Amino acid sequence: MKRAFLFPGQGAQVVGMGKDIYEKYDEAKKIYDEASRISGIDVKKLCFEGPEEELNKTENTQIAILTTSLAILEVLKKNGITADISTGLSLGEYGALIYAGIISFEDGIKLIQKRGYYMGNLLPDEKFSMAAIIGLNSEKIEEICKEISDQGKFIVVANYNCSVQTVISGEENAIEEAMEKLKEAGAKRALKLNTSGPFHTIKLQKAKEAYEKELENINFNASKEVKAIKNIDGTYYNENDNVKEILANHIISPVRFDKAIELMEKEQVEEYVEIGPGRTLTGFVKKENREANTFNINNVESLEKYLEEHK
């Protein structure tokens, strides 16, 4: 059976995530303890106790979500559950790269800590927002963003999540204007997102440049058994890729999760397993294919149910 592992991105975090997994499984405990040792951050405390305000800071969110996903992944691996394909949304791509063996666990933790810090702190001073646009095709969204940016305001598409959900990013007033115009153009909903910066846009150029220096110190491997999908264009990583360049550009480039779904469908994936908090990614998969066989593993109950069904 062809299986894909999906790793969630920012916004999925919730105080208490992973606590029951940590308490029940030694292999999960080890992941949290190792992530804390490598980063010098008490990742357990952050995930299990918060407070929410701290957990929601980009510099904390990214390492917290990744560690929780990897802790659950470790239990799956111990139980012989493997995947042919791995992918993730934004920071979730690091879970996919670690699973595929392209980056080591230790390097992945170091990188996501730096990435979260730069994305949370090297931001321009102006007021920026992001909004999810639901029920309108991305071409129409691009067209309206261009009309507004032609007036001298900054606004672009930042995430192509699936055919019916696209995220825009830009100056606060440009986002407000776009939300109104997109609703008039037929969008079912336009929702402001609780984010701290214009992620996946050129406005994070400083963060990208700082992150490039961190990537210089990392060794990347070719993936042998697992195919990992790039966020930047929805294609597989291959041995000729400049991974450093891809991961640096990822900070200022739109996320193409829509293309990742297309590729997995083309590859006839039979089972999609989202590993970590939330159920956003399987939701996107279901939007494209209602019949898709999806699972979300984010606590002991869902983990044990999944393992029971896959004996």
The CATH number assigned to the domain holding 185 equals 3.30.70.250
Task: Over range 123-144, report the average pLDDT.
Answer: 94
**Angle CA(74)–CA(77)–CA(79) in degrees, nearest 5?**
115
Of the residues 86, 129, 169, 200, only one is catalytic, namely 200
At 223 the pLDDT is: 83
Q: Tell me the residue range of the domain where 140 lies.
A: 128-192
Among candidate residues 161, 192, 223, the one where a domain is terminated: 192
Same domain, 171 and 294: no
> What token pair was written down for 109?
């933790």
Q: Residue 86 and residue 229: Cα distance in Å, rounded?
A: 6
Burial tier of 149 (Cβ tally within 10 Å: 0-12, 13-18, 19+): middle
Residue 197 belongs to a domain = no
Collapsed DSSP state (helix, strand, coil) of residue 272 = strand
Among candidate residues 171, 192, 213, the one where a domain is terminated: 192
Task: Over range 96-102, report the average pLDDT.
Answer: 98
Q: Residue 88 and residue 90: Cα distance in Å, rounded?
A: 6
Q: How far is CA 154 from CA 53, 129, 145, in A?
A: 28, 11, 9
Collapsed DSSP state (helix, strand, coil) of residue 54 = helix
Of the residues 90, 129, 138, 223, only one is catalytic, namely 90
pLDDT digits (tens, 9 = 90+) for 23-74: 999 999 999 999 999 999 999 999 999 999 999 999 999 999 999 999 999 9
Q: Residue 91 and residue 142: Cα distance in Å, rounded?
A: 24
At 196 the pLDDT is: 65
Q: Residue 228 and residue 101: Cα distance in Å, rounded?
A: 9
Same domain, 97 and 233: yes
128 forms beta bridges with: 171
Looking at the structure of the chain, the number of domains it has is 2
Q: Is 138 a catalytic residue?
A: no
Per-position b or e across 238-273, b if 16+ CB within 10 A of its CB: eeeeebbebbbebbbbbbbbbbbbebbeeeebebbb
17 forms beta bridges with: none
Q: Is 39 a catalytic residue?
A: no
- With a threshold of 0.75, does the pTM exceed it? yes
At 257 the pLDDT is: 98
At 263 the pLDDT is: 98
Q: Residue 256 and residue 115: Cα distance in Å, rounded?
A: 19
Residue 300 has pLDDT above 80, yes or no: yes
Residue 54 belongs to a domain = yes
